[in-house]
Amino acid sequence: MNNDAHQKVQAEHLARNAFLYVRQSTLRQVRENIESSQRQYGLRDRAVALGWPIQQIVVIDCDQGQSGSSAVEREGFQRLVAEVSMNRAGIVMGLEVSRLARNSSDWHRLLEICGLTRTLLLDEDGLYDPSHFNDRLLLGLKGTMSEVELHLIRARLRGGLLQKARRGELGGRLPTGLVYGPVDRVELDPDRQVQESFRHLFKTFRRTGSALAVVKAFRQEGLRFPHRVWGGARGGELVWTDLSYYRVTWVLACPRYAGAYGFGRTRSVKLPNGLVKRTKKKVPPEEWYAFIPNAHAGYIGWEEYQENQKKLQQNATQYRSQRQCAPPREGPALLQGLAICGRCGRRMQIQYHERRGHLYPDYVCGAAASRYGQKQCQRISGRNLDRAVGELLLETVNP
């Protein structure tokens, strides 16, 4: 340890704890890259050589397997920042800057707090005092290079993935009804019953023009729909279940059933807190990262697929326009979001009707009707129910 390092360590630093932050980006690195962990834990010897007793060295290693791109989900890093902010840390140690943070905002925030509290920073290359301009400049450059490195790694991985997707060679799990052939070419499921089930679904939608009507038709005909289990003890097994409204809309919206290969149908946005949220907003095929029509066999053509999307959009628009005329959810019903159906256990919805200028609620369990085309489970008048619940509430809270 050189003399310059010992000159930076003052009595005020030794009076506080030394914090060692240990992190690796993935669980696989934690399992296999043991040498990196040993090097990180070995920094305790550096702290002892600078004058810290071993009992004053605090190891924070609860962020193992967490990426350093954001501090949002890293409890250990948040704890470290809190300790530095409360002037409890004399020195913060990490193998390199990327172990502490690969995000410039997180890194410079830590530097700012360390400068205010006169907390030292130590890595494998040396000892730094963020309150000194030259040390802070060097640490800032290290943090910037660490973030650039992460960007380059992501760009290389993303570039290779997109290149493979544009060729239609990026595999993945196929939806039920499609399988990989002998040469990894996508083919229709060889099970004739599975094929006929999907053809019947598209044929019924072509005739009725409604996803819910398809569900009702399958139920009236006593038909079930195939679904392949993924994961668990029954992984890969084909099961037959009642057709639901969600299942119909998902099948109609999947371009694979039209023989098209698509990648990038949704977009991701980065929220202010650093989390990445995958939106459900659909983008047109011309905005997909990769789109190859007629890439493999399908149950319908691409033109019919586009017509189906238009029908679904029109149905959704009509449904929303009807909902605009209904009373708002912030109505007088006392048990909004609280009522549970005593028959099936599902949460009941609220519907209002107007009588003599007043709104009266009805509690409706309509999940079976909207999802499976069955009859409503039950409908209860909310006027008397709310009165009874209100009287019970007053009786309970009154002394």
Count the Cβ atoms, other than its own, within 10 Å of residue 277. Answer: 11
pLDDT for residue 182? 83
The region of weakest confidence among 2-11, 21-30, 70-79, 323-332 is 323-332
Write down the residue that tokens 């011309």 correspond to: 286
Q: Which of 25, 69, 70, 98 is catalytic?
A: 25
Residue found under tokens 């929303």: 320
113 and 49 housed in the same domain? yes
* 264: nearest Cα among 292, 287, 294: 287
The most confident of 13-27, 243-257, 315-329, by mean pLDDT: 243-257
Rounded CA-CA distance 128/137 in Å is 10
Q: Number of structural domains, the chain?
A: 3
171 within a domain of the structure (yes/no): no
Residues with Cβ within 8 Å of 242's Cβ and at least 6 positions away in sequence, in order, are 218, 219, 224, 225, 372
pTM for this predicted structure = 0.56
**Distance set, CA 241 to CA 100, 197, 344 (Å):** 50, 12, 18
User: Longest Cα pair distance anywhere in the chain, in angstroms?
Assistant: 90
Q: Are residues 13 and 108 in the same domain?
A: yes
The length of the chain is 399
Is residue 257 located within the same domain as residue 386? no
pLDDT score for 312 = 87
Q: Using one digit for the tens of pLDDT, what is the confidence trace for 71-101?
A: 566 788 888 889 999 999 999 988 876 667 7
Tell which of 162, 188, 205 closes a domain.
162
323 pLDDT tier (thresholds 50, 70, 90)? very low
Three-state SS for 75-97 is HHHHHHHHHHHCCCEEEEECCCH
118-135: per-residue pLDDT in tens? 999 988 888 889 888 888
Active site residue 37: no
The answer to whether residues 331 and 316 belong to one domain is: no
Contact 180, 186 (CB under 8 A): yes
| 274 and 332 together in one domain | no
Using alpha carbons, select from 57, 94, 97, 60 the residue that is nearest to residue 77. 60
pLDDT of residue 266: 76
